[in-house]
Amino acid sequence: MIPFVSSSFLLVGAVALLRAKKTLKKTRKVFRVYVDGCFDLMHFGHANALRQARAIASFASTGGKEGGYVEGAEEVELIVGLVSDEEILRCKGPPVLPEQERVKCVRAVKWVDDIIANVPYELTKEFVEELFSEKYGIDCIVHGDDPCYLPDGTDAYAIPKALGKYREIKRTEGVSTTDLVARLLEYADASENTTSQVGDESSGGKRSEKNERHEARFCTTASRIAQFAAKVSYSKTSKMHEETERRKTDKKQRKNERNEETTCCYVVGAFDVFNAGHVELLEECSFVADKVVCAVIADEYLTRDKTNQPPPMLNQSERAMSAIACRHCDDVVVGAPARLTDDICKTFNVTAVVFEDDDAVTERDRNVCEKNGVQILSVKERVFSRKKLTIAKRVQANRALFEERQKRKMASEKAYYEQKAFVAED
């Protein structure tokens, strides 16, 4: 039998512990995870890193698997640190896209709650302290399982690792900024070495021959699509919570004005090298319709495309993944027909249609729209429109600098793939 003194002592101790837990719960309920990076030519590998980082945070906040950072935390927030243009230039070589466009792309990813722009490449002691301080309230720092070195060869994440506040996620296979730059450089080669027009079948053929090294290696599984398509809920303190609530109110108001009719905006496009222009387009569509469906055109139609645009750099599954990750898009058709049909209008109850490229609208599309009472919206006013061609030209214009950067990055990427072993994923 436990003596009276020690049992009452135990009781007092237990009460004190419960109180302490309660106080913790009251003071802190949101688990904040931080992911930093360049996010240049934002691709679905970046999006998957952000998705996984949020999943790690969910485990931690519920006390599961990696748990134990914040007792009683019930919600998660994902904060992205975006490395500045100057820092990328100093540590990696020139960025393809300037910060303003990189911010636009990262902010549009549905797992992101907020962005800290202009962060340094190096996680210095001072900056890490600032992240863990009241100012940012970060609980844990996350990066992919690829090694990340500073120009002096030291580990960029050494400090958070030593503090036990670092977690690793699985890098997504078969895609990287380096890989995309390589594809763009090969396109530049193909268009310089041929007398035929850009977008002509003969130049497309030459590119794919040359491009063997960089053909798609990403495995689009059904479970990956399901993970990307899942709805995200935001904590009450998240900036995104405010934004989604505002959108809900707008939609309700629009519905009342139209006597409950739900509107669907069907957006037809390649969505290749997903960029700020696409984000802007989809955001605009989300302002005018209740539902935005991205029709990601099938590869077979794009390779036959005779427009003046570069050939597709990414295949249809890769292109679709970026669209699915975008918060402004409600659903995606993976490998859609290039033309609008009566059947599509009925299936999705389309009320408005937008073509990524205005010039792509044909007489047949106009007839289908007229017959089905579908409005054709124009996107001419977009600030970042027609970005793929601009991006390709930017890489071409700075070819020497990019080639220099590629040499270094491709060597480290090769080494990573050679030593790569299985990494479990959340």
Contact positions toward ligand CTP, by CB under 6 A? 35, 37-40, 45-46, 49, 92, 143-144, 146, 171-172, 175-178, 409
d(CA 138, CA 31): 8
Cβ-based neighbour number of residue 177 at 10 Å? 23
Which structure tokens are listed for 315? Answer: 């295949």
d(CA 121, CA 86): 10
**Closer residue to ligand CTP, CB minimum distance, 144 or 204:** 144
**Closer residue to ligand CTP, CB minimum distance, 119 or 353:** 119
CB of 262 to ligand CTP, least distance (A): 36
CB of 36 to ligand CTP, least distance (A): 7
**Closer residue to ligand CTP, CB minimum distance, 175 or 273:** 175
d(CA 210, CA 106): 31
What is the torsion angle, in degrees rounded to the nearest 10, for the CA atoms of residue 58, residue 73, residue 109 and residue 167?
Answer: -60
d(CA 386, CA 380): 10
Distance set, CA 21 to CA 10, 28, 32, 377 (Å): 16, 11, 19, 55
**Closer residue to ligand CTP, CB minimum distance, 181 or 268:** 181
**Closer residue to ligand CTP, CB minimum distance, 37 or 204:** 37
CB of 14 to ligand CTP, least distance (A): 42
**Closer residue to ligand CTP, CB minimum distance, 314 or 350:** 314
CB of 345 to ligand CTP, least distance (A): 37
**Closer residue to ligand CTP, CB minimum distance, 172 or 317:** 172
**Closer residue to ligand CTP, CB minimum distance, 124 or 367:** 124
**Closer residue to ligand CTP, CB minimum distance, 38 or 188:** 38
CB of 111 to ligand CTP, least distance (A): 12
Give residue number: closest CB to ligand CTP: 144
d(CA 30, CA 235): 7
CB of 310 to ligand CTP, least distance (A): 20
**Closer residue to ligand CTP, CB minimum distance, 40 or 186:** 40
Which structure tokens are listed for 176? Answer: 């990287």
CB of 163 to ligand CTP, least distance (A): 18
**Closer residue to ligand CTP, CB minimum distance, 382 or 405:** 405
CB of 378 to ligand CTP, least distance (A): 34
CB of 29 to ligand CTP, least distance (A): 26
CB of 52 to ligand CTP, least distance (A): 7
CB of 319 to ligand CTP, least distance (A): 16
- Tell me the backbone φ, ψ of residue 314, rounded to 5 degrees: -125, 150
